[in-house]
Amino acid sequence: MLIHLLAETPSKVAPIRAIVEPVHRLVPIDTNHKQNFTPDDVLMIDFDLRSETSVARVREFLRKAGKLRHKIFVVDKKSHSLIVQAHALEATGTITRPLDRDEVLSRLSLFDIATPRNGRHEPLSTDLGNSAAIFASLFSTILNGGPIELADAKRATEQIINSVSQRGLTAWLDDVRKHHEGTFQHCLLVSGVATSFAINLGFSSADVYRLGLAATLHDVGKATIPLAILDKPARLDAEEERIMRQHPALGFEALKSVPGIDPEILDAVRHHHEFLDGSGYPDALRAPVIADIVRLLTISDIFAALIEARPYKATMSREKAYDILSEMGGKLEPALVRAFKSIALAA
């Protein structure tokens, strides 16, 4: 496999080469490089994304390069904002500094960048790339304290509905898990699952869109949760769990003053971790006051979390994930869980 390394300075080349080159061929390039990529190539980018000038140089290079299947950015592990910036540039993965050999090679494996057996790649959905960039922009806006543009979230929702309607849920899930990671992967998965759920239930186009928009916005509160907690490859301790459980309320606070936002969407953002038996959070609501849109979103959210692709665990099958949903008696709406079966087990 050929990997092109776009590095801001020559000093950044050697550490990456020492890890990658024993396994894959690596070719350093610069922003003056004539773009001549093939479908099997991978572009790794190591630029200072704190610098507006550097970001502009990378953006211009990518514009000229056209659509690339795999763009992996090297970023500071401690900086949530840099990871968000990388995804705003349509990263399909990130590698964190200090560089760790196992992490770098597992990232390459996670995004399935080897040549397919039939020698051909399926085209990457334009809707996926555009939607992922919008998710990153929303997170960046919240992280920087700026005003959220509801039109951006609506555009991402429309693109996801379009892709799921035309290509099916399985294609959407496969593309997302191959090309995105972490919080962004989860958000994209939930949006696709929720959209497909609503379509399968025979909802009107307006109701499909409403659930899709709730899914698009449901986890924006995670923008301000420390990265060490979001990406921890193990069970959270009590204090970390307390912090993580703040994200629905943080999302609600970030969105409540956005002009034109529907109260039903705000309710879904705040309460998508509530359970019918009162054991959820942040408000310990019980069945009578949990709205239908929340019940639908909660099922979609749990299912997406179970089938996510992570470097430290195998992807759970959709069959096993549905079995877990089915065993959550008292917490989820039984009729909706039964209706979800056709989505969960669809080919």
pLDDT tens string for the chain (347 positions)? 778 999 999 889 989 988 888 788 888 998 888 777 876 678 999 999 999 999 999 999 988 887 777 888 999 876 778 888 888 888 877 888 888 888 788 777 655 444 444 444 455 566 787 888 888 888 888 888 888 899 999 999 999 999 999 999 999 998 888 777 778 889 999 999 999 999 999 999 999 999 999 999 999 999 889 878 887 878 899 999 999 999 999 999 999 999 999 999 999 999 999 999 999 999 999 999 999 999 999 999 999 999 998 766 778 999 999 999 999 989 999 999 999 999 999 86
What is the rounded distance in angstroms from the CA atom of residue 73 to the CA atom of residue 96? 8
Quick one: pLDDT at residue 6?
A: 94
CB-CB neighbours of 212 under 10 Å:
28
As a whole number of angstroms, the distance between CA 287 and CA 291 comes to 8
* Domains, in order of start, for the chain: 2-110 (3.40.50.2300), 128-344 (1.10.3210.10)
The reported pTM is 0.76
Q: Does residue 264 contact residue 217 with C-beta atoms inside 8 Å?
A: no
**pLDDT of amino acid 132:** 83
Task: Round to the nearest angstrom and report the end-to-end CA distance of the chain.
Answer: 31
When computed from its CA atoms, the radius of gyration of the chain, rounded to whole angstroms, is 20
Per DSSP, the residues of 219-288 read TGGGGGS-HHHHT-SS---HHHHHHHTTHHHHHHHHHTTSTT--HHHHHHHHHTT--TBS--SSS--BGG
Which secondary-structure segment (H or E) carries 75? strand 71-76
What pLDDT is stored for residue 124 in this prediction?
A: 53
pLDDT at res. 121: 45
Give the pLDDT confidence score for residue 112 in this predicted structure.
47
- Look-up of token digits 């665990």: 313
CA 50 to chain centre: 22
What is the bridge-based pairing of β-strands 93-97 and 42-46?
A: unpaired
